[in-house]
Chains A and B, each alone.
Chain A
Amino acid sequence: MTEPVIRTKGLTRSFSMGQTIVRALRGIDLTIERGEYVAIMGPSGSGKSTLMNLIGCLDTPTEGEYELNGTSVAKLPEHELARIRNKDIGFVFQSFNLLARATALRNVELPLIYGGIKPRDRKERAAVALREVDLEDRMDHRPNQLSGGQMQRVSIARALVTRPALLLADEPTGNLDSTTSKEIMALFQRLSEAGNTIIVVTHEREIADHAQRIVTIRDGVVASDGPNTVATTETSAT
């Protein structure tokens, strides 16, 4: 029960660019417990995006171990990774990545479709997820009828709808103004308090400060890792 959600050991990822080999990650050891709210920080080129792709099972490591929810996923084939992305991981993207032609409800249903859930259950669960992000009155709206904050909340609902072990957000406020950003961060706070495990990847200190723990990546290794001292005061202030 006390098994961590994420445990990596010596996680390495290299890319070959013609003759040269670029080592984006050079051995990351990281353990994230259930219910933690973690920010991964680092300047661009630090390898944080590569780390996020590995954690999100969109990519496989060149070397090293990665256990998600107690399952080793480093060497799994494509269709197994797809299944894990579907069941265990909820993605929130900087640019929302909603399907333009589909309503909010249909967008939230999407992971359930690939999870093989029956249409009736799908609708119900998607509606519940939208209610959790306070969008029950926007279910039939298409993305172009929604504000940026609303779109991001739809995408959070989509990430939550499968009840994943891990919510993985990549610069979730990057395309939002500061007021809306605060709303979204408050929402993350609420989800964290409700027991969700959350990882936010960002290069903004202000955003990272909402988390309980901050991991800094620099040049493909963990530069610092520790509890965030300002977290509670910052969130209570907003």
Chain B
Amino acid sequence: MNVIEATRLAVESIWANRLRSFLTLLGVIIGIASIVSTAAVIQGLNKYVEEKLSDLGQGVFTVQRFGIITNRQDFLDAIRRNRRLRREDAHAIRDRCSSAKTVAWQVRSTADLKRRGNELLGVEVSGVTPAILEIEPFDVADGRILLPFEDERAVPVAFIGNDVAEQLFAGVDPIGKELRIKGTPVRVVGVAEKKGAFMGFSQDNFVKIPYSLHRKLYGTTRSLRISVQTADSSNMDYTMDEVRAVLRARHHLRPGQEDDFDILTSEGINNLWKSMTQTIFSIALFVVGISLVVGGVVIMNIMLVSVIERTREIGVRKAVGARQRDIVQQFLIEAVLLSCIGGAIGIAIAFGAAELLATYTPLPAQFPAWAPWVAFLVCTSIGVFFGIHPAKRAARLDPIEALRTE
């Protein structure tokens, strides 16, 4: 008997027990659907993060008091060891690192904004040196970005995000208008292009003011985040070494002593992100693996039931000349087909879920192109692995006994 004939038989048999087949497949369906959906979400996030980081521009790195810290002990060590980065550190880098093209810095705090009785709570207010807007470019919707002299003289001006513009200046052009930060009136000179939300968090809820103004309003205790753009992006390591040498000298670190600051590159952030999502994915894979094993066992179970139900049929087939391998083939193909149908339904559900997530939730899900193939492979393996035992059992039936069964 050839494969086409056996497949036809399997389809007939599965179709004859539609409801049962479907229930049998739930485990596989759920398993495949959830793993592919997870992969879709992670792929979407990865793509988003990659795009974000590429916004940062080539050959840019930042110097911060704390880098990315992923465990408590590191955090405690860093608090003890790392010093606040001050304006003098930033100046030293600017003045002494010859390979750095642009050096800019910013400090962040949150504030409640007021304008004529309107209040906007918890807005991110960062004090920036205007050069930061060259390194992390903002698309200006209206007005202009901050200018260097405004930082030199601590002019009370602000470049605001779209949310702030819409909520504090509903219906009016905000350019030239004032808003109050900690009671100080600040004039709006520019509005940024809308960026939208990511994971439910708005990216347009910010105010950028000159660093010197921020210093006046909030004092000098906050640590700076210093961004450095190298003149030659292929030689970023050299610039990083230069920056490190300057800061170590300023902080009087002895050779062998650890750095008391952290340097972050977009590549580093990306790698960290990738390793995080990979961890999430492998945990998901493990959980779903269990569901697939359960799904496989259910398929095996139903195939065993099917063998018992069809004992007589198997006897007839053997009597008219079916060999053991014909019977094995028939049941194995049925198990594989069953499992692959489950996989196909799972894929369809995941595809729909990814589309829905991308459309109706903040999660940027993206259906992975490899998923159908991998699911097909996985389901075939499940079918073979869990189908072989029932199939062999069917094939080994004694035709005489089988024909005698009622």
Chain A positions near chain B (C-beta within 8 angstroms): 53, 56, 58-59, 78-79, 82-83, 85-87, 91, 93, 97-99, 101, 110-111, 113-116, 158, 162
Contacts and interface: CB of A to CB of B under 8 A. Distances in A.
Interface in B15-70: 16
A100 to B, nearest CB: 8
The 8 closest A-B pairs by CB, nearest first: A86-B321, A114-B321, A111-B320, A82-B323, A79-B323, A97-B316, A58-B399, A85-B321
Contacts of B324: 78-79, 82
Contact of B1 (A87, A113, A162): A113
The residue in B1, B16, B316 that gathers the most chain A C-beta atoms within 10 A of its C-beta is B316
A115 B321 contact: yes
Nearest to B13: A101
B321 A59 contact: no
Nearest to B399: A58
Given A97-B312, A97-B403, A79 B320 contact: no
A228 to B, nearest CB: 27
B5 A113 contact: yes
Contacts of B318: 58, 82, 85
A79 B315 CA distance: 15
B400 A59 contact: yes
The residue in A58, A83, A116 that gathers the most chain B C-beta atoms within 10 A of its C-beta is A58
B52 to A, nearest CB: 58
B399 A99 contact: no
B103 to A, nearest CB: 79
The main secondary structure of chain B at its interface with chain A is helix
Contacts of A78: 323-324
Interface of B: 1-2, 5, 12-13, 16, 312-313, 315-326, 399-400, 403
A77 to B, nearest CB: 10
Given A82-B318, A114-B1, A116-B1, 13 more contacts: A58-B400, A82-B324, A83-B323, A85-B320, A85-B321, A86-B321, A91-B319, A91-B320, A97-B319, A97-B403, A114-B320, A115-B321, A116-B2
Contacts of A93: 403
Contacts of B5: 113
A56 B315 CA distance: 13
A168 to B, nearest CB: 10
Contact of B321 (A53, A82, A101): A82
B319 A79 contact: no
A85 B325 contact: no
A14 to B, nearest CB: 15
A151 to B, nearest CB: 13
A2 B226 CA distance: 106
18 contacts: A53-B400, A59-B400, A78-B323, A78-B324, A82-B324, A83-B321, A85-B318, A85-B319, A85-B321, A87-B321, A99-B316, A101-B12, A101-B16, A114-B317, A114-B320, A116-B1, A116-B2, A162-B321
A218 to B, nearest CB: 21
